[in-house]
């Protein structure tokens, strides 16, 4: 039995729940630190996407050596464009959320 539907029109994608439970989009990975992400990119005229912002769900980096520890973190990286610098090196972590701390570009809030 379906519990909702997905609708695409124009430039919008809508996910609707038809039961008393909010809709979800699930991203999962079997291994590795990053479990999934949502990116915001500029499309160049040649079709290449220039990633500018990424929001990532990850396993807490402090416990990644333990595959049975399911502690998570959420990070936001924003690109600081610099000609001649690799794309990954241009991505600056500006926010990290964990169950026990918040990191805001150099300022820790416990």
The answer to whether position 5 is within a domain reads no
The answer to whether position 38 is within a domain reads yes
Q: How many domains does the chain have?
A: 1
The answer to whether position 65 is within a domain reads yes
Q: pLDDT tens, 15-32? A: 999 999 999 999 999 877
The answer to whether position 62 is within a domain reads yes
Q: Which structural domain, as residue segments, surrounds residue 56?
A: 27-109
The count of residues in the chain is: 110
The answer to whether position 83 is within a domain reads yes
The answer to whether position 18 is within a domain reads no
The answer to whether position 59 is within a domain reads yes
The answer to whether position 52 is within a domain reads yes
Q: pLDDT tens, 33-78? A: 899 999 999 999 999 999 999 999 999 999 999 989 999 999 999 9
């Amino acid at each position: 039995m379906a519990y909702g539907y997905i609708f695409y029109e124009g430039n919008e994608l809508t996910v609707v729940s038809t039961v008393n439970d909010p809709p979800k989009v699930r991203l999962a990975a079997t291994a590795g630190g990053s479990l999934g992400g949502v990116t915001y990119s500029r499309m160049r005229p040649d079709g290449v996407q220039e990633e500018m912002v990424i929001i990532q769900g990850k396993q807490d980096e402090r416990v990644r050596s333990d595959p049975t520890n399911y502690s998570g973190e959420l990070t936001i990286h924003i690109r600081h464009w610099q000609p001649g610098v690799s794309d990954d090196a241009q991505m600056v972590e500006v926010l990290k959320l964990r169950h026990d701390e918040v990191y805001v570009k150099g300022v820790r809030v416990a």
